[in-house]
A and B are shown apart, each in its own frame.
Chain A
Amino acid sequence: MDIYFFLGKGGTGKTTVSASFSVGLSYYNKNKNFLIASLDPAHNLGDAFNIELSNKIKKLTENLSAVEVDLEKMIKEYLNDLSKNLKNTYKYLTSFNLERYFDVLRYSPGIEENAVLESIKKFLNMNEFDALIFDTPPTGITTRVLALPKLTLMWTKRLMDIRRKILDRRKMVENVKGKTEAIIEDEVITLTADEKEDQIMIELVSYSKEMEDLMKLFQSDLTKINIVTMPEDLALFETKRIIELLNKFKIKVNKIYLNKYLIFDNPPEVIKGKIIEQDRVIEKMREEIKNINIKDIPLLSQSPRGIEDLLKFYDNYILE
């Protein structure tokens, strides 16, 4: 499965570019089935296509489908499942305010990143598609999402080490006193010392395997990261930051789309300054960012809307 991520700040035209990309690529590769998914809570994808999209996958053409993922709903659902589960397991914790813990969880950093990653995982498992295109959330979240598998692996390794120590000590006590039984509020639980039986270890092992697969996927050539940016100082700065960050996690950036590029034969006074800045930024960009393809896309008087427009946009500006 090929994966295309489109990153970019709000206003850079990321949604337009990604939508156009999906239309064009699917048009010229009729033998493959494409899905474009918006992971951005502020969904614009439907607007770009001029079609109302929802949490259910909608077929747009023969080989292109689209969906706007409802992250809020996802989060609520799995927190609810967890809550039900935990209330049963932890009914002994009367002094322990579970409700409060869930409030903390709901707003703790990382809960949205997790939802995005879970959503990506879900799509990866849909074998009917050959390629996935993702219109991503604001760059902060997205870079954290891309880094999440590696970060998770660091944590699972650490937790597994501690878990092993627990199981090891339990085994020692078992050797002398027999299987350990814990009495929690009149309920007797047998504690296991065996890695293969310990539920926590089992979960940690399987989850870390999943994360490892994702991490390798993101680092491989199957994943193509595209950054949509504008020829402004701040945008360049941000773009470089993203590249650096992703580099740290061994994720390569595939292409940079320099959008809303100003082309004037006779620029009016007011715009002259902007054009000078623009040219300066582009020169700087070409100097400082090597090994990454940079494609200019000019500022259009009207943004493309609807599949036909998007295809034209692709032919004019994206197709190599």
Chain B
Amino acid sequence: MGLREVSTSLIEKELEETENIFALLTMGSFAGIPSPPTGIILRILPYMKREVYVMIARSKNLDDNLAEIAGIFSIE
């Protein structure tokens, strides 16, 4: 009954956020953030399918974070 969910949901959210950050750092030049030397980008970009996907997905909800965080962290 969703017990496995309850035991990992927070970790999974943290994981997604970290994947998001990894993608943002790598592709920073696209978003106006300092980015790594081009050499690194050229080497790892071909393998970042998942991370870029998470970044795009998360970017849709950037203006609506408070409720989401409140939802993840059960308060009462």
Contact = CB atoms under 8 A, between A and B. Distances in A.
Contacts of B26: 159
Contact of A184 (B11, B39, B45, B49): B49
Contacts of A104: 29-30
Interface string B4-21: 100110011011001101
A53 interface: no
Contacts of B4: 176-177
A90 B51 CA distance: 11
A152 B50 contact: no
Q: Which of B4, B12, B21 has the most CB of A within 10 A?
A: B12
User: Chain A's interface: helix, strand, loop or mixed, by majority?
Assistant: helix
Interface stretch (A14-22, A65-73, A110-118, A257-265): A110-118
B29 to A, nearest CB: 5
Given A92-B53, A191-B50, A172 B40 contact: no
Nearest to A169: B15
Nearest to B37: A152
Interface stretch (A198-206, A220-228, A275-283): A198-206
B39 A118 contact: yes
B21 to A, nearest CB: 7
Contact of A163 (B11, B22, B30, B53): B22
A76 to B, nearest CB: 13
Contacts of A166: 15, 18-19, 22
Contact of A169 (B14, B29, B36): B14
A145 B34 CA distance: 18
A105 interface: yes
A57 interface: no
A78 B43 CA distance: 11
A152 B21 contact: no
A155 B38 contact: no
Q: Which of A104, A152, A169, A189 has the most CB of B within 10 A?
A: A169
